[in-house]
Every structure is written in structure tokens, then in C-alpha cells.
């Protein structure tokens, strides 16, 4: 082993004193000796910033300089590493991160939105300045997935990366299933329990999870982060009927992110999917996260762990900090940002079976008309069930053979003209895992 570059303390400037920030303070204070034994040097906090100094935060902050402005914190001369756990992809978080890089600091960030939107520019700036940005805490909470992908599996050409990375959505879907409740009921429950962001669409619309997927895809495939190219579909249209029907066929519905490099380009989607109930993804309960990493040599690696919370997120932040204390410096996305390729976005090019649920008018020939639309779009049918019903409308479930999303959309476009459809049909991909 090489001795650490310096026995001088590594000095952190901590921006944000919410749950995660206080978690970082606790680890730095309680594990000072442990961390010094592991890194060969002390790791200390010299300064912190947050808006409200008077708030009771259940931690002793008296030894730290206080800045109200995170940009001022980022510029301090007694800070080596700027630790950003504020959140927000514009405003103070962005300004302070840029200021930190401009004044020669390394950055440890838990901010998935900032990196999903500005990761490429920030990485270029950091690399030009000879600094690093690390963001383990931004993806899948306490699971060290960035490190695993960038370092542990670096001998692989990655084939596919998947993940359930929004605990709130997984809570809602598993609770619907377990308690046989509607989406609306469980959504309201989750809101009242404080499980959802102030803007719940960040969670249930798949945006937060989409940010994380875009970051993983960049690292896995050596491409620039392209959040705008992620196909996003939230869980708002998943009904308890879908959950029950999927269960009957041996599947669970998950908000699953998939990034895959294909001959047509980079697929990135964050959508509700059916996965086998017997796969670890299908068995994932509540707020837990899971990532599945598939490489050409290693095959499939599955990692499961807490996706949020004080301890897990602070653990991820400190993993990055300890790497810096040990002198491990890698480019933000695993290779220099200037060498990342422009991804060619491909809309779900990889065919898969699809689950289609719809309600038809109970008229002779209605089902035949739907089947014809599918056939004309080149989609063949694996299973079709019409359920016993009362009244004029018949619930119908179709499982297709493998088809592209384009063909499915094409067929569904034709459904409308048949005049036999009641309401909108639901189409969910059955992901092969």
C-alpha cells in the first residue's frame, strides 16, 4: 500500500443540515477514530451551512463555522471537500457546487437532480480543475452501486442495468397488493405518512427514479448523462386490478428502471413493469431499493438495501468522503467526461411481451376487432382472457408475444377506431429478468 498523500486532516464543508446532513455529522463525530484508522488521516468538519441557524438539530454543531450562504461555504479556504446534501437542481445547490469546483474543492453530492441535469458540465469543469465529483448517495441510498459499477465491475462491458430506485413508489405498489387497496387510497396514506416529496409527482411520476437511472446509464455505458431521453411513466395509472391480474399470472408490478445498450442505441426507461414474482425484483417490499447489474463477464449481480433515510444516505456520503481521504480519485462518471459518448436514444427497441388490459363493450365481435388491430400492427397474442362480468362492459386481459413498444403503441392507436373500447387501455411491459 502507498501511504496517504498527507496525514493532514481532510476538511469537510457541509452544506445542508437536514436529515442527511445531520447523519453525516453523527458519523464524522462518532466514528472519528475508526475513520482515521481506515484512511490514515483525520476527517473533520470545519464549516456548515443551512438557512436557519436557530433550529434544534439534535447534534452538536458548536465546533463548526457557520455560513448562511452555501456559496460562501464552498469558497472557504479551510474546506477541502464540499459536501452538498441540500438538493434542488438549480439555485443555491448548483451555484455552490460550481463555486466549490472553481475554488479547487472536491465535491461529494447526494443531489441526483443536479447531476442528472448538469452532470456533464460539472464533470468537465471539475476535471479541468483537477478535482472530482462523487455522488454515491444520489443513487439507491445506502447501496454502493456507483462504486460497484465504476470500479468493481470495470472489467465488464455492461449489458443492462435495472433498478427499483424510488422507495415511495415501491411502498405504494407493495401496500396496494398486500392490503388490496386502490392507488388513490394508498397514495393519500403515503402522503400523510410523509413518504412523498412536496411535489409528489417527483416520486409517483418517476422523475426522481429517472434521474437515478440516467446517472447509472452514463456510468454503465460511458455515455453523457441524458435524463431527457429517459422514457418516463409514473405509477398513477396502475390499478389494483392490474396488480391482482399480474399476481394471478405469477408477476408483480414494479416501477422499474432499465438502461440497455442496443444496436439501435441507448434505451432508458423508467416505467411500471411486470417482473416475475420469484425474482428478487418481484419480491422487493416497501421502501427498499434494488439494482441489478448485468455484465458480459460477471453475469447478473443484484444489490438490495435501504433507498433513503439518515443512516443509509449518510453512509453513502461518507463512503465517498473516505475515498477522497484515501486519495482515490476517479473521474465523475468513471472515465473522463470529455471521452463520454453522445448517446443515441432508442425508444424501447428491445422487444418484450406486453400486458394489455382494457374494457370492451360487450358486443359480438368486439374481441375480434381488438385482435385484428394487434395482428395488423404485427403483434401476436400469447394469452387472451375475457373475464366474467355484469353489465355492458367486459374486462379483457391480453398478454402478447414479444413486441416493440412502437408496435404496441401502433396497435393501441388503432383500438380507438374500432368503437368497442371503453376508456383507455393499459399497456405494461413484462421485463425479462
Binding part of the chain for a copy of itself, among 95-103, 252-260, 335-343, 349-357 by CB under 8 A, reads 335-343
Is 192 among the residues that bind a copy of itself (CB under 8 A)?
A: no
Binding part of the chain for a copy of itself, among 71-79, 142-150, 230-238, 408-416 by CB under 8 A, reads 142-150
Among positions 73, 143, 165, 243, the unique one binding a copy of itself when judged by CB under 8 A: 143
Distance CA 57, CA 44 (A): 19
Provide the phi-psi class of 278: left if phi over 0, else alpha when psi is between -120 and 50, else beta: alpha
Dig out the grid coordinates for 80 from the structure: 477541502
Distance CA 416, CA 373 (A): 10
Is 151 among the residues that bind a copy of itself (CB under 8 A)?
A: yes
- Letters for 210-249 (x = contact with a copy of itself by CB under 8 A, - = none) are ------------x---------------------------
Binding part of the chain for a copy of itself, among 12-20, 92-100, 139-147, 210-218 by CB under 8 A, reads 139-147
Task: Collect all residues with Cβ–Cβ distance below 8 Å to 248 and sequence separation of at least 6.
Answer: none
Is 298 among the residues that bind a copy of itself (CB under 8 A)?
A: yes
Is 394 among the residues that bind a copy of itself (CB under 8 A)?
A: no
Is 167 among the residues that bind a copy of itself (CB under 8 A)?
A: no
- Size of residue set near a copy of itself by CB under 8 A: 66
Q: Within 10-49, which residues bind a copy of itself (CB under 8 A)?
A: 23, 27, 31, 34-35, 37-40
Which residue among 212, 224, 363, 402 is the active-site one?
212
Is 276 among the residues that bind a copy of itself (CB under 8 A)?
A: no
Q: Within 89-118, which residues bind a copy of itself (CB under 8 A)?
A: none
26 among the known binding-site residues? no
Distance CA 340, CA 164 (A): 25
Is 286 among the residues that bind a copy of itself (CB under 8 A)?
A: no
Among positions 16, 144, 343, 425, the unique one binding a copy of itself when judged by CB under 8 A: 144
Is 305 among the residues that bind a copy of itself (CB under 8 A)?
A: yes
Parallel, antiparallel or unpaired: strands 288-295 and 299-306: antiparallel
**Nearer to a copy of itself (CB atom), residue 299 or residue 413:** 299
**Nearer to a copy of itself (CB atom), residue 200 or residue 334:** 334
Task: Collect all residues with Cβ–Cβ distance below 8 Å to 192 and sequence separation of at least 6.
Answer: none
| Shortest Å distance, C-beta 148 to a copy of itself | 5
Binding part of the chain for a copy of itself, among 54-62, 238-246, 290-298, 378-386 by CB under 8 A, reads 290-298
Among positions 46, 168, 174, 332, the unique one binding a copy of itself when judged by CB under 8 A: 332
Nearest Cα neighbor of 399 from 358, 353, 332 is 353
**Nearer to a copy of itself (CB atom), residue 321 or residue 426:** 321
159 included as an active-site residue: no
In sign, the C-alpha dihedral spanning 273, 276, 280, 285 is positive
Is 381 among the residues that bind a copy of itself (CB under 8 A)?
A: no
Binding part of the chain for a copy of itself, among 54-62, 88-96, 325-333, 399-407 by CB under 8 A, reads 325-333
Is 124 among the residues that bind a copy of itself (CB under 8 A)?
A: no
Distance CA 70, CA 47 (A): 10
**Nearer to a copy of itself (CB atom), residue 148 or residue 418:** 148
84 among the known binding-site residues? no
Could you list the residues that contact a copy of itself (CB under 8 A)? 1-2, 23, 27, 31, 34-35, 37-40, 126-127, 130-132, 136, 142-144, 147-148, 151-157, 222, 280, 283, 295-306, 309, 311-312, 314-319, 321-323, 326, 328-332, 334-336, 339
Binding-site residues for L-homoserine: 197
Active site amino acids: 212
Binding-site residues for NADPH: 112
Binding-site residues: 112, 197
Amino acid at each position: 500500500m502507498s501511504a496517504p498523500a498527507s496525514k493532514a486532516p481532510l476538511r469537510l464543508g457541509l452544506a445542508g443540515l437536514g436529515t442527511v446532513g445531520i447523519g453525516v455529522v453523527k458519523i464524522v463525530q462518532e466514528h472519528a477514530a475508526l475513520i482515521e484508522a481506515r484512511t490514515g488521516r483525520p476527517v473533520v468538519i470545519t464549516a456548515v451551512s443551512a438557512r436557519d441557524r436557530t433550529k434544534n438539530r439534535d447534534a452538536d454543531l458548536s465546533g463548526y463555522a457557520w455560513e448562511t450562504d452555501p456559496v460562501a461555504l464552498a469558497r472557504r479556504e479551510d474546506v477541502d471537500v464540499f459536501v452538498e446534501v441540500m438538493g434542488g437542481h438549480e439555485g443555491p445547490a448548483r451555484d455552490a457546487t460550481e463555486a466549490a469546483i472553481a475554488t479547487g474543492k472536491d465535491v461529494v453530492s447526494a443531489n441526483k437532480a443536479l447531476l442528472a441535469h448538469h452532470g456533464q458540465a460539472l464533470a468537465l469543469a471539475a476535471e479541468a480543475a483537477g478535482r472530482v465529483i462523487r455522488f454515491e448517495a444520489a443513487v439507491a441510498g445506502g447501496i454502493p452501486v456507483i462504486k460497484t459499477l465504476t470500479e468493481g465491475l470495470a472489467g465488464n462491458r455492461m449489458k443492462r442495468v435495472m433498478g427499483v430506485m424510488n422507495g415511495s413508489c415501491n411502498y405504494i405498489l407493495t401496500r396496494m397488493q398486500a392490503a388490496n387497496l386502490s392507488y388513490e387510497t394508498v397514495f393519500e396514506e403515503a402522503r400523510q405518512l410523509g413518504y412523498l416529496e412536496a411535489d409528489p409527482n417527483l416520486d409517483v411520476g418517476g422523475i426522481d427514479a429517472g434521474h437515478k437511472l440516467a446517472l447509472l446509464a452514463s456510468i454503465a455505458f460511458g455515455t453523457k448523462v441524458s435524463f431527457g431521453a429517459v422514457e418516463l411513466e409514473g405509477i398513477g395509472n396502475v390499478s389494483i386490478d392490474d396488480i391482482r391480474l399480474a399476481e394471478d399470472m405469477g408477476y408483480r408490478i414494479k416501477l422499474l428502471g432499465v438502461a440497455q445498450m442496443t444496436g439501435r442505441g441507448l434505451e432508458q426507461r423508467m416505467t411500471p413493469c411486470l417482473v416475475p414474482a420469484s425474482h428478487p425484483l418481484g419480491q422487493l417490499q416497501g421502501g427498499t431499493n434494488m439494482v441489478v447489474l448485468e455484465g458480459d463477464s460477471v453475469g447478473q449481480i443484484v444489490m438490495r438495501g435501504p433507498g433513503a433515510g439518515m443512516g443509509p444516505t449518510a453512509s453513502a456520503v461518507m463512503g465517498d468522503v473516505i475515498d477522497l481521504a484515501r486519495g482515490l480519485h476517479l473521474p465523475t462518471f468513471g472515465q473522463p467526461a470529455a471521452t463520454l459518448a453522445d448517446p443515441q436514444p432508442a425508444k424501447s427497441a428491445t422487444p418484450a411481451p406486453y400486458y394489455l388490459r382494457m374494457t370492451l363493450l360487450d358486443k359480438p365481435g368486439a374481441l375480434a376487432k381488438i385482435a385484428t388491430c394487434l395482428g395488423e400492427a404485427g403483434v401476436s397474442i400469447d394469452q387472451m382472457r375475457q373475464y366474467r362480468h355484469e353489465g355492458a362492459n367486459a374486462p379483457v386481459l391480453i398478454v402478447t408475444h414479444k413486441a416493440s413498444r412502437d408496435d404496441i403503441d401502433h396497435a393501441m392507436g388503432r383500438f380507438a377506431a374500432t368503437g368497442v373500447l371503453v376508456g383507455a387501455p393499459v399497456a405494461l411491459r413484462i421485463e425479462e429478468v
